[in-house]
């Protein structure tokens, strides 16, 4: 067991066996891998196989894909030695979840377990309706490639490292994505908290926009005395921090931390970073899209507070490759551009679409959108329509239900009717690749937080055969 595992970031409890229900999720899998690295016996259930579950199996986890009690390995039925970890997305009717509850096992939500780790380290926690995966990933990268280093539990796969988990033998710093769903981030205890946005979402949980924003205000009260709050300028959150917590603002062009002399063109973005203590000129953005100027300002601010030097910051921003499914370029050529993005909230869609149009002015933008959740589609239908109307052409897939049952009247057709332009159509997943083959495409982007990513290899193959086979 390495030094970090012995001295840093170690939760206050001790179990030999950890069983994860929903182990293949992006946030569950990094915790499972963390405990595998500690030498613990790790097992779990997930509905479907994926690259993440395959990686867990290769690292020694015991996995299965049927909700059946007799599939649970015997070693995980020892109540005194086993901790059971689950997410709020798992329904109460789940058979294995019910078995462990009824038999008196120690049960812990994923967020509670992550909270234990943040309590035992100097945590940088990144919250926000959108932007948190990119900002936390960039923060982790800036620290990782510097003399400071860090551990990180991320909500996406960083392309620099091909992982959602970073472990350090020498750093007390832990970077974590702070998920607001089901108030999960209320388990965390940050030393530095970043809030990128607080646009209402998850109203199936919170009920009202006011309750949603209040949850972010409560999150600020969890910052440790002597810590820092880095809040995007203009976000409607009133901090409730403890005495001794420093408040900082940031945005693209205003606040304590901001950018100046922004230059965009020919697929490149450069800017000067300005903070209360220094100016770093002529930074080149590794993922050159407009929205990442602001994201990088937040990440640099956190890294600077942790002691990362100006030269390390410049190198880190330039070398950052981004996270998978966050403005992820699959093809970039003069004949065809193919981008995939996780955007599933209207503000995210607008920011991404505007960034793409700024990068490729004059080229037709075709968007494929898979709505995520019936409740979100219902609550933000008008805003989704406004965002998607910024494109030149829209293809809507069926709504991805995730944890929800259908809601009467909430359909892709309902959303399609609200989009203002006429180049719009419905398509099912099975026919999407063939349908795209019939269109005149210049810039294609796929949006959504469901399972649209499973179509990416087939889409990319078709595009390369059609547009690039003679290159």
Q: DSSP characters for 178-241? A: E--GGGGGGG---SEEEE-------HHHHSSHHHHHHHHHHHHTTSPTT-EEEEETT------P
Task: Say what the pLDDT of residue 10 is.
Answer: 64
Structural domain of 447: 328-467
Both 195 and 130 in a single domain? yes
In angstroms, rounded to a whole number, what is the distance separating the alpha carbons of residues 61 and 399?
Answer: 32
Both 151 and 293 in a single domain? yes
Domain boundary among 286, 319, 352: 319
Instruction: Retrieve residue 153's tokens.
Output: 């539990």
**Tokens 């919170």 belong to which residue?**
206
Over the chain (471 residues), what is each successive 10-residue block's mean pLDDT? 42 84 92 94 92 92 94 93 90 93 95 91 94 94 98 93 93 94 91 93 85 96 97 96 97 97 85 98 92 96 98 98 87 93 89 88 94 92 96 96 88 94 93 95 94 93 91 60
In this structure, the strands spanning 268-274 and 41-45 are unpaired
Task: Say what the pLDDT of residue 266 is.
Answer: 67
Domain boundary among 319, 339, 363: 319
Both 340 and 369 in a single domain? yes
Residues paired with residue 228 on neighbouring β-strands, in sequence order:
192, 246
Residue 191 Cα distances to 81, 112, 175, angstroms = 31, 17, 10
Both 352 and 213 in a single domain? no
Both 93 and 142 in a single domain? no
Q: Is 443 among the domain residues?
A: yes
Both 91 and 67 in a single domain? yes
Task: Say what the pLDDT of residue 4 is.
Answer: 35
Both 105 and 132 in a single domain? no
CATH code assigned at 8: 3.40.50.720
**Collapsing DSSP states into helix, strand and coil, what is residue 174?**
strand
Report the length, in residues, of the chain.
471
Residues 153 and 114 sit within 8 Å (Cβ to Cβ): yes
Q: Is 446 among the domain residues?
A: yes
Both 307 and 343 in a single domain? no
Task: Say what the pLDDT of residue 14 is.
Answer: 80
Neighbouring residues of 62: CB distance < 8 A, sequence distance ≥ 6 = 41, 42, 43, 44, 73, 76
Residues paired with residue 257 on neighbouring β-strands, in sequence order:
250
Both 20 and 168 in a single domain? no
Both 71 and 155 in a single domain? no
In angstroms, rounded to a whole number, what is the distance separating the alpha carbons of residues 428 and 145?
Answer: 43
Q: Is 115 among the domain residues?
A: no
Domain boundary among 289, 319, 349: 319
What is residue 400's DSSP assignment?
B
Q: Is 116 among the domain residues?
A: no
CATH code assigned at 340: 3.90.190.20
* Domains in the chain, number: 3
CA atoms within 13 A on the CB side of 106: 15
Supply the pTM of this predicted model.
0.82
Both 143 and 287 in a single domain? yes
Task: Say what the pLDDT of residue 326 is.
Answer: 81
Both 257 and 332 in a single domain? no
CATH code assigned at 206: 3.40.1190.10
In this structure, the strands spanning 279-284 and 268-274 are antiparallel
Q: Is 114 among the domain residues?
A: no
Instruction: Retrieve residue 269's tokens.
Output: 């973005």
Residues 220 and 240 sit within 8 Å (Cβ to Cβ): yes
Nearest to 224 by CA among 244, 238, 239: 244
Neighbouring residues of 32: CB distance < 8 A, sequence distance ≥ 6 = 18, 20, 23, 42, 44, 56, 61
């Amino acid at each position: 067991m390495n030094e970090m595992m012995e001295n840093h970031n170690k939760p206050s409890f001790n179990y030999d066996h950890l069983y994860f229900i929903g182990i293949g999720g992006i946030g569950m899998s990094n915790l499972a891998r963390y405990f595998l690295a500690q030498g613990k016996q790790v097992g779990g259930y997930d509905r479907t196989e994926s690259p993440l579950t395959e990686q867990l199996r290769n690292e020694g986890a015991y996995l299965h894909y049927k909700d059946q009690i007799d599939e649970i390995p015997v070693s995980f039925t020892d109540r005194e030695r086993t901790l059971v970890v689950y997410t709020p997305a798992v329904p109460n009717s789940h058979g294995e979840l019910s078995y462990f509850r009824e038999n008196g096992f120690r049960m812990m939500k994923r967020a509670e377990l992550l909270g234990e780790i943040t309590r035992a380290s100097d945590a940088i926690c990144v919250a926000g309706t959108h932007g948190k995966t990119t900002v936390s990933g960039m923060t982790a990268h800036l620290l990782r490639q510097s003399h400071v280093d860090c551990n990180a539990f991320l909500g996406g796969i960083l392309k620099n490292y091909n992982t959602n988990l970073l472990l350090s033998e020498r750093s007390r710093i832990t970077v974590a994505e702070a998920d607001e769903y089901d108030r999960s981030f209320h388990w965390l205890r940050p030393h530095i908290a970043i809030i990128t946005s607080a646009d209402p979402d998850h109203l199936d949980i919170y009920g009202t926009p006011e309750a949603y924003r209040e949850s972010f205000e409560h999150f600020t009260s969890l910052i440790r005395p002597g810590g820092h709050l880095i809040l995007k300028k203009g976000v409607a959150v009133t901090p409730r921090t403890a005495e001794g917590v420093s408040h900082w603002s940031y945005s693209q062009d205003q606040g304590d931390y901001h950018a100046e002399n922004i230059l965009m063109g020919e697929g490149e973005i450069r800017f000067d970073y300005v903070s209360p203590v220094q100016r770093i000129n002529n930074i080149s953005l590794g993922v050159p899209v407009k929205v990442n100027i602001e994201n990088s300002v937040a990440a640099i601010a956190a890294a600077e507070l942790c002691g990362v030097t100006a030269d390390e910051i410049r190198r880190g921003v330039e070398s950052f490759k981004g996270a998978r499914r966050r403005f992820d370029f699959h093809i970039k050529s003069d004949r065809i551009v193919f981008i995939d993005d996780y955007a599933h909230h209207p503000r995210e869609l607008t920011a991404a679409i505007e960034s793409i149009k700024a990068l490729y002015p004059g080229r037709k933008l075709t968007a494929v959108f898979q709505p995520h959740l019936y409740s979100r589609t219902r609550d933000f239908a008008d805003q989704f329509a406004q965002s998607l109307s910024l494109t030149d052409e829209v293809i809507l897939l069926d709504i991805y239900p995730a944890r929800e049952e259908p809601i009467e009247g909430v359909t892709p057709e309902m959303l399609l009717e609200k989009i203002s332009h006429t180049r719009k159509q419905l398509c099912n997943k099975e026919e999407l690749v063939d349908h795209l083959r019939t269109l005149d495409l210049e810039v294609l982007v796929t949006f959504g937080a469901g399972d649209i990513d499973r179509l990416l290899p087939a889409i990319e193959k078709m595009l390369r055969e059609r547009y690039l086979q003679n290159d």
